[in-house]
Chains A and B, each alone.
Chain A
């Protein structure tokens, strides 16, 4: 059996003639966490709804472990756990009641339901909340219930739409480690608009913008895009621009503010060592030197522009 757990083939979705998602194809392997990045309204959620059978694609197919979502929706859906953007929880029930219903609807054999509920609660840190009404839980705990609901039947593919939204930093860390844990055995697709989150959790990344897939690759490739051969350097007694430009490997020097410079250099010829040495020698008063990370917006701009040129 191949390791492919999910295949999306040429997915296109029209909303009243407007293309929300255009010709998106990708695949997911077992034991992989795929980050799905994009600005608001880029088509992340639409794609995820198509993957989970909540929305029929206008063109294209979705296959879960080789099972076609449109032809055999029941069999395909049984292999998926989905956390939509708006958490689908029945607030009038208690945590235990809700998770039992979720297990039952996902065809967990009735003898194993109790065990499945316990495992899901434990994984999401909900064990001490069993008898509480979901309505009375805090926002973060409600989000955990929603995540527990998605993993209760031990699905092969877990699809999480912005799972860390509305959580506090400690909870975010816990959820991230949970996602990594799930990702070791199963496949996870995770959508977000927070770039650091993807770098921490995901093995592969794809970026969608205005319905187009603009980037698809491993996390290292994205990091390269992001760092993009630039250094941010600060001096108390700043040298002249030309002095910096003469250093080997430097292609361009920009002044950011008084004493701060952005130094562009040739690929794999980082001048950081030379800058430190020169600074000591000439008493420039170096107080900061760091790779200059571009923001997510800049990466988007770079990638979308590149796509247009192609």
Chain B
């Protein structure tokens, strides 16, 4: 049932040119950063004489692409999540889902999975794009896989939060703005605690947990953080929809 809802969401995304255009534009942005990354590598490395200054091509180009990807996703994901529930609320199509024999959990998870499948296409293509480096060099696949997992978890968290804000309002734009502001706050939170990196508040920052992935490190505590982040916001969304039924 979750998959059926996910299929419906994907169908809506690809029914209009929107889905295709977003994919194309984002890939174009990532692609151009990939190219500049490769160009810069030769420039920077030809200047670096001492061995300590030298870094591998995977890390150099990977870091360029993945850091810009996480930043662009901060804008792109709220634009994709904003419609998920608020649009249905506005066009009054929620009763269609509510009166079908499916639970609220399935509805919310289905919408979430549908969006994640869409975003996974991007994460997968970024990975594919970077593996083309292997044609000229011997690259570090472990580093790329860790980064992909990190980016995937990051966009999944963005989506979970975006879906929650989408369930709060009837106006997709308000949902987008709210989720962008809160995601941005969560991303830069650790900067406020630069003097005390071990402060518990800094621990809440999304970026702090993404950073270990971007170093190529898959840490179970970071996995747990993202997992909790996602499940918290999905649970809140389910509760918000349940309130519709109870309060009317």
**A residues apposed to B, CB below 8 Å:** 13, 15, 46, 49, 52-56, 73-75, 77-78, 80, 82, 84, 86-93, 97, 101-102, 104-107, 149
Given contacts A105-B100, A105-B102, contact A82 B245 (CB under 8 A): no
**Chain B residues within 8 Å of A53, by CB:** 98-99, 245
The smallest C-beta distance from A204 to any residue of chain B, in angstroms, reads 23
**Chain B residues within 8 Å of A88, by CB:** 92-96
Does B248 have its Cβ within 8 Å of any Cβ on chain A?
Answer: yes
In contact, B92 and A74 (Cβ under 8 angstroms): no
- Beyond A84-B95, A87-B92, A104-B4: 13 further Cβ-contacts under 8 Å? A15-B248, A54-B95, A80-B99, A84-B96, A88-B92, A90-B12, A97-B15, A101-B7, A101-B8, A102-B100, A105-B101, A107-B101, A149-B96
In contact, A74 and B103 (Cβ under 8 angstroms): yes
A89, B92: Cα distance in complex, Å: 9
Count of residues in B whose CB is under 8 Å from the partner chain? 25
Does B151 have its Cβ within 8 Å of any Cβ on chain A?
Answer: no
**Chain B residues within 8 Å of A52, by CB:** 95, 98-99
Task: Please report which residues of chain B, range 44-65, place their CB below 8 angstroms from some CB of chain A when the two chains form the complex.
Answer: none
Most buried by A among B16, B101, B245: B101
17 inter-chain pairs at a CB distance below 8 angstroms, sorted by A residue, are A13-B248, A46-B248, A49-B248, A53-B98, A53-B245, A54-B245, A74-B101, A77-B101, A88-B94, A89-B93, A90-B93, A91-B91, A93-B11, A93-B12, A97-B15, A105-B1, A105-B8
The smallest C-beta distance from B129 to any residue of chain A, in angstroms, reads 30
Task: Please report which residues of chain B, range 88-121, place their CB below 8 angstroms from some CB of chain A when the two chains form the complex.
Answer: 91-103
A148, B246: Cα distance in complex, Å: 28
A55, B240: Cα distance in complex, Å: 14
Across the two chains, which residue of chain B brings its CB closest to A51? B99
A-B pairs, 3 with minimum CB distance: A88-B96, A86-B92, A78-B101
In contact, A54 and B15 (Cβ under 8 angstroms): no
Across the two chains, which residue of chain A brings its CB closest to B102? A105
A107, B97: Cα distance in complex, Å: 13
**Chain B residues within 8 Å of A105, by CB:** 1, 4-5, 8, 96-97, 100-102
Given contacts A13-B248, A56-B245, contact A102 B101 (CB under 8 A): no
The smallest C-beta distance from B34 to any residue of chain A, in angstroms, reads 33
**Chain B residues within 8 Å of A92, by CB:** 12, 15-16
**Chain A residues within 8 Å of B101, by CB:** 73-75, 77-78, 105-107
The smallest C-beta distance from A92 to any residue of chain B, in angstroms, reads 5
Across the two chains, which residue of chain B brings its CB closest to A110? B4
